[in-house]
Amino acid sequence: MHDELPFQLYSAQQVRDLDAQLIAGGLPGLELMRRAAAAAWRSLRHGWPHAGALCVLAGGGNNAGDGYLVAALARKAGWQARVWHLADPTGLQGDAALAHAEALAAGVDIQPWRADAPLEGLVVDALLGTGLKGAAREPYAAAIERINASELPVVAIDLPSGLDADTGAAAGPLVRADLTITFIGLKLGLFTGKGPDHVGSLVFEPLMEEPQNPAHATAQRLAPGNLPRLARRPLNAHKGQYGHLLVIGGDEGTGGAAIMTSEAALRCGAGMLSLATRPSNVTAVLARRPEVMVAGVHSSFAVLELAKKADVLAVGPGLGQGAWGKALASAAATLDAAQVWDADALNLLAAGVVQAPRGPWVMTPHPGEAARLLEVSIKDIEADRPGSARELARRYGGVALLKGFGTLIAHPDGRMALCGEGHPAMATGGLGDILTGIIAALLGQGLAPFEAACLGAWLHGRAGAELGRQGRGLAASDLPPVARQLLEELQPCLN
C-alpha cells in the first residue's frame, strides 16, 4: 500500500505563490523552467524510450516555455522535435521567450499551428497550463480535439489542457493524456471530477529541495500514511466500549439497504448493533444477520426508545420518503448522538420536511442528492465539486462527504480531504449503504465525524478497487469482508 505522492493538494494560485516564493528565494525562473523540462523529458523518455520523435503543441505562457525546452532537450538527444505554436512566439515574455530562443538555437522545427498540421511520435501538451478558467477557446479547442483524435501517446505538462486545476471540471474539450508530469505542488483538480479520467499516469516533480508547508494546502489527499487511526484494543476489551449503533431504515420493499448498512457496521468493528425497520423486514434480518438486534417499529416513539441505548445513529438506508420515513428521520434529528445520514434521509432534508441533526453528524450525498440539498443542478455540482462540498458543510453544519471518483470530505471549519480510491465496477446499487455503515462503525469506536468520514471513505474506495480487479458484477455486499481485512492490515485490532 505504499504511496509516494505527497498528501498536500493545492489550488492553482497556491502553486503560483509557491513558484513565486522559489524565485524570490534566489532560484531564477528560467532555471525552474529548465528543471521542469528536464523532469518531463526524463519521464517521457522512460515511458517511450524508442519513440525518436515528438511534437509539442505550445500556447503562450510559461507552460509553453516548458514545452519549448522539452523540445530542445529532445533535439539535443537526436530526436526529431517540432513545435506547433498556437500563440505567436514574438509575443512571449520573460522566461518563456528565453525558452523559445533555446529551442530555436537547438534546431527545433517551430511552426505556426494549422488545421492540417501533422502530429507524429509523442504529442506533448503544453497549451494552457493552470491558468484556464472556463472552456478553451479557438484555436485551442480544435487543437485539443485533434490531440485526442490522433491515437498517439500524449504527455501533458503540468495538467491536461482544458482541465480546471482547482475543481477538476472541464467546460469544453479536454486533453486525454497517457502521462501527466506536474510540478511544485499537486493540484486538487487532478484528483476529482474529470481529472482522474484524463490525467493518465501521474508523475510529480517538486523542483525544490525543501517540502511545501502543509498548513497552506487546500486539501489533504488520503493515503495509507495519513489515515485517521483507531486505537488498538486491550485484551480485556468488551462490546460496550465500541459503540452501540442504531440503524434506522428499511421501508416496505427496501429492507435490504438497512441490512447491508448493519452488516458493514458489524464488519468494521461496531460493538453492538440495533436496527429499527418495518416489521415485515424482521424475519429477513434475523435470517441474514442474527447478530443484529432488530425491532419492527411503527412510530417515532419506538425509535426514540431504542435510541436511548445508542451512541451512534445511521439514518436513511431504504428509509423511503413517506410518512413512516419522515417520522423516523424527524425523531432522529432531535437527538444529540452522532449520526450518519444518507439516501432518503437527505432527500427528506432537501425537501424541507425534516431538520438537520442537532448533534455531530456526517452526510454522504451523491451529486444528485447534493444538487437537491443546495437547490442547484447536478451540472452545477460537478462544475465545482470542492466548492459544493464546502457549501454543504457550511450550510448544514455537518461533515459533508460528496461521493464520486475523487470523493471529497469537507468540515464546516474549512478542512477538506480527498479520497482517490475506487473503481468503475462500483457503479452499482447499495454501495452507499455500505459506506454509511462503515462510517457509523468508526464513529462508535471513537473517531470524530471528519476523521470517521475520511477513514470510511478510504476503506470503502480501496475495498471497491480491490474487488474491481475482478471486473463487472461487483455486489455491494461483497465489500464488508474486504473492508474488514483492509482495516486489520492497516490498523491491527490487538494491542
Query: Is there a binding annotation on residue 129?
Result: yes
Tell me whether residue 177 is annotated as binding.
no
Tell whether 495 is in a known binding site. Answer: no
The answer to whether the annotation marks 130 as part of a ligand binding site is: yes
How far is it, in rounded angstroms, from Cα 406 to Cα 404? 6
> What distance in Å separates the CA atoms of residue 356 and residue 361, rounded to the nearest whole number?
9
- 336 annotated as ligand-binding: no
407 marked among binding-site residues: yes
213 is in an annotated binding site: no
Q: Is 420 annotated as a binding residue?
A: no
- 168 close to 188: Cβ distance less than 8 angstroms: yes
The overall longest dimension of the chain from CA atoms, in Å, is 82
406 known ligand binder:
yes
133 belongs to an annotated ligand binding site:
yes
- Residue 46 among known ligand-binding residues: no
309 is in an annotated binding site: no
Consult the annotation and say whether 244 binds a ligand: no
405 marked among binding-site residues = yes
For 404, the 3-state DSSP assignment is: coil
β-bridge mates for residue 247, sequence order: 275, 314
Contacts of 376 (CB under 8 A, 6+ apart): none
Q: Which three cell numbers stand for residue 14?
A: 497556491
Residue 418: how many other CB atoms lie within 10 Å: 26
263 CB neighbour count, 10 Å cutoff: 25
The annotation status of 310 as a binding-site residue, yes or no, is no
Residue 266 CA: distances (Å) to CA of 239, 273, 394, 456: 11, 7, 31, 13
Q: Determine whether the annotation assigns residue 94 to a binding site.
A: no
Query: CA-CA distance, 129 to 106, in Å (whole number)?
Result: 24
The answer to whether 379 is annotated as binding is: no
- Any binding-site annotation on 17? no
The answer to whether the annotation marks 63 as part of a ligand binding site is yes
Q: Was 161 annotated as part of a binding site?
A: yes
**Three-class SS of residue 272?**
strand
Residues 6+ apart with CB under 8 A from 485: none
Annotated binding residues for K(+), written as ranges, equal 63, 125, 161
Annotated binding residues, written as ranges, equal 63, 125, 129-135, 140, 158, 161, 257, 318, 366, 403-407, 432-433
Annotated binding residues for AMP, written as ranges, equal 403-407, 432
Annotated binding residues for (6S)-NADPHX, written as ranges, equal 129-135, 140, 158, 257, 318, 366, 433
